[in-house]
Amino acid sequence: AQTVTQSQPEMSVQEAETVTLSCTYDTSENNYYLFWYKQPPSRQMILVIRQEAYKQQNATENRFSVNFQKAAKSFSLKISDSQLGDTAMYFCAFRPIQGAQKLVFGQGTRLTINP
């Protein structure tokens, strides 16, 4: 069974700073997808970024980028030029390509951007 671990329950940075959220996972699969979801106080789950395990190039979406280290099973999220609207819970998630393709989540990191 796959597991996802986020070791930072809470983080806090100043506006405009860069912050990195950590995520590690455990799987015996070779091909899979990794995701970061954002959950603001509205409770809505918002997909931030997606990485395909068979692609070596790290995914980027505007101010959001990932550092994907397949051998180390590590998938960190970097937020550049952080904004107040980035304040939210962030969840790392794993989805295998084969079988039922269930999405498995980490415990989450609560990120606060201070003015």
Partner 1 sequence: NAGVTQTPKFQVLKTGQSMTLQCAQDMNHEYMSWYRQDPGMGLRLIHYSVGAGITDQGEVPNGYNVSRSTTEDFPLRLLSAAPSQTSVYFCASSTGSGYGYTFGSGTRLTVV
> Is 105 one of the binding residues for partner 1 (CB under 8 A)?
yes
> Is 57 one of the binding residues for partner 1 (CB under 8 A)?
no
Three-state DSSP class for 7? coil
What is the DSSP annotation of 16-65?
A: T--EEE--EEE-S-SSEEEEEEEE-TT---EEEEEEETT--SPPEETTEE
Q: Which amino acid is at 5?
A: T
Of 69, 102, 112, 114, the residue at the interface with partner 1 (CB under 8 A) is 102
Of 8, 50, 67, 73, the residue at the interface with partner 1 (CB under 8 A) is 50
How many chain residues touch partner 1 (CB under 8 A)? 25
* Structural element, H or E, at residue 35: strand 32-39
> Is 11 one of the binding residues for partner 1 (CB under 8 A)?
no
Of 19 and 92, CB closest to partner 1:
92
Asked if 41 contacts 24 with a C-beta cutoff of 8 angstroms, the reply is: no
Q: Which residues form the interface with partner 1 (CB under 8 A)?
A: 4, 6, 9, 33, 35, 37, 43-45, 47, 50, 52, 91, 93, 95, 97, 100-108
